[in-house]
Amino acid sequence: MPDVLEATKRVLILEDDYGLRTSLRLFLEQEGYAVGEAEDAEAALELDAADPFDAMLVDLMLGGIDGFSFIRSVRPQTTAPIIVISARDGAKDVVTALEAGADDYVRKPFDVAEVRARIQAALRRPDFPSNLHAGAYAPATGIVLDAATDLVFDPAAATLRRGEEDLHLTSTEYKLLSALASHPGRVMTRSNLLDQMWPAGHHGDVRVIDVHVSRLRTKVDSEPGESQVITTVRGLGYKLDLR
C-alpha cells in the first residue's frame, strides 16, 4: 500500500506511445499517485504551468518539440525531479539529457516497479517551506559553505541561499549537496555519491555524477571557473570545502 506522503504527489507522464503512457498511468494511480498525461511537449508545459507537478517522466523522442527541448524549457520554472524514460541508450543521449536538467535516466524497456522506485527515491527529500515561493525571506540557518559570499545550505529546509537570494535546487542537486555536506572535507568517490543519492540502486555510468556536479557548481560558485566550494580530486572523486 502507498504511504500517505506518496498519495499526495502528482506525476506528469510525457510519452507519445498511448499504450505505454496508459500502462504507466494505471500503475502509478494504483500506487496512490495523481497522474497527468501528455503526448506532446506543448501540452505538458501547459499542464505544469496550470498546476505544477511533483515529478515528471519524460520520453525523448516526441513529435514536435523533443524531450531534450522540453526539459530545457521546463527546468527553469520547476524544482521537480525529471526522470527520462527512453529507448535511446547512448552515453551521449544520457549526458545531454542530464545537462539539459534531467535528474535520472531509465532505459526502455523497463519494469514499471523500477520507475516507481526511481520516483520514490527522487521525491525522498524535505518539502520546501510553504512560504518559499511567495518570496518571503527569513534568516537562513544551516551549513555555511562560503562565509565570504554568505552561501548557506539548510538540508532540513532543502534551501540554498546566497545572502537573501534563493538558489533553487532540483531534487538531484539537493541530494548531491546533502551527500557532500554530510562529510565536509572528505573525498567522496563517484560510487559513494551514487549509493547515497540512489539507495535503491542506479544502473547507469558513474560519470553521470560529473554532470550533476557541473550543474550544481553553477549555483554554489560565486564566479565561473575553478570551483571554490566543490573540489575535484583527480582519480578519486569530489569533496566539499567549507570556506
Predicted local distance difference test score (pLDDT) of residue 82: 94
Predicted local distance difference test score (pLDDT) of residue 133: 34
Predicted local distance difference test score (pLDDT) of residue 130: 33
Which phi and psi angles does 82 have, rounded to 5°? -115, 120
Predicted local distance difference test score (pLDDT) of residue 128: 39
Q: Which residues of the chain have pLDDT under 50?
A: 1-7, 127-140
Cell numbers at 167, concatenated: 538558489
Predicted local distance difference test score (pLDDT) of residue 37: 96
Q: Which CATH class is domain 137-240?
A: mainly alpha
Predicted local distance difference test score (pLDDT) of residue 204: 61
Predicted local distance difference test score (pLDDT) of residue 95: 87
CATH 2.30.130.10 fits 4-122, yes or no: no
Phi-psi region of 128 (alpha: psi -120 to 50; beta: other; left: phi over 0): beta
| Domain 137-240 in the same topology as domain 4-122 | no
Domain ranges of the chain: 4-122, 137-240
Predicted local distance difference test score (pLDDT) of residue 58: 97
Helix axes of 171-181 and 190-197: crossing angle, nearest 10 degrees: 120
